[in-house]
Amino acid sequence: MVRPREFDKDLALKAAMRLFWRKGYHTTSLEDLCEAMNISRSSFYATYTDKRTLFNSCMDLYFGIFNSRLPVVAELENPMEVLQERYLKVMSDDMPNVFYGCLLVNTVLEMADVDEELRHSAQLKWKHLVEDHSKAVFLKAGFAPDQAHAFSKYFDTVISGITVADRRHVPCSELRAIINQTFDFFKLAVSAKNHPATA
């Protein structure tokens, strides 16, 4: 019996993640994956079992990469400024994922009314990265829980829209402007909270 050849599993998984990120789940074939990962069919099946299992591993990898880059809110002195700079950096002109959008948002859209399990998995990961983290930032900035919750929902909607706009090839300069406008709104709220109007 011929044994599948050895390969670098980390590099192969990253290659598969980038391919799914660019093409989506359904339009990525097994042949596409084997070519991108530089592996044979036998190695693919022996290691990953099937495309769905591999895709879940790719979503886990994607989530892990971006989760590791989230600033630790408890350690932030200027949480709003740090969050703003993080998202401006994500939309910088030299990022390799320009026009890919977000793998998680892409998956939520692709799997809506098609595959509830994959949609839900992607949605939970996205919620942690954006809504839950931004809510912690707003709480750290001193907002009341109800306002922090409302702002996190607003921020989630803005960033979700930006990822879709990225797929539409909207220039990064325009997306950065939206991010800056969004944080201008948040900073006005902070100012109003700290300096309430007097009668």
So what's the pLDDT on residue 17? 97
Q: Do residues 46 and 137 both lie within one domain?
A: no
Domain ends where: 49, 68, 87? 68
Reported as a pLDDT band with limits 50, 70 and 90, residue 94 is low
State how far the Cα of 51 lies from the Cα of 29, in Å rounded to an integer: 9
Whether residue 199 has pLDDT greater than 70: no
Q: Taking a C-beta distance cutoff of 8 angstroms, is the pair 182, 132 a contact?
A: no
Would you place residue 91 in the very low, low, confident or very high pLDDT band (cuts 50, 70, 90)? confident
Task: Kindly state whether residues 109 and 192 are assigned to the same domain.
Answer: yes
Count Cβ atoms below 10 Å from residue 52 Cβ, excluding itself: 13
CATH number, domain of 15, equals 1.10.10.60
Q: Which of 68, 102, 121 is the last residue of a domain?
A: 68
Q: Determine which helix (DSSP H) or strand (DSSP E) holds 175, and give its type and residue range.
A: helix 172-194
Expressed as residue numbers, the domain containing 32 is: 1-68
Q: Are residues 40 and 77 in the same domain?
A: no
Residue 20 sits in the same domain as residue 114 = no
Domain final residue pick, 30, 53, 68: 68
- Alpha carbon separation from 76 to 70, 72, 81, 82 (Å, rounded): 11, 7, 9, 8
Mean pLDDT within 96-112:
88
Question: Could you give the C-alpha distances from 139 to 87, 133, 197, in angstroms and in order?
Answer: 18, 10, 22
Tell me the C-alpha distance between 47 and 56, whole Å: 14
- The share of the chain scoring above pLDDT 90, in percent, equals 82
Q: Which of residues 99 and 111 earns the better pLDDT score? A: 111
Same domain, 92 and 42: no
State how far the Cα of 8 lies from the Cα of 82, in Å rounded to an integer.
35
Q: What's the rounded mean pLDDT across residues 39-51? A: 94
The answer to whether 138 and 127 are in contact (CB under 8 A) is no
Model pLDDT, residue 191: 72
Q: Judge if 6 and 58 occupy the same domain.
A: yes
Same domain (yes/no): 52, 81 = no
Does one domain contain both 64 and 22?
yes
What pLDDT is recorded for position 189? Answer: 83
> For residue 126, is pLDDT > 60?
yes
**Residue 198 above 60 pLDDT?**
no
The pTM of the full predicted model, rounded to 2 decimals, is 0.90
> 1 pLDDT exceeds 50?
no
**Range 59-77 average pLDDT:** 94
**Considering the chain, what is the average pLDDT of its residues?**
91
Domain count, the chain: 2
- What pLDDT sits at residue 53? 97
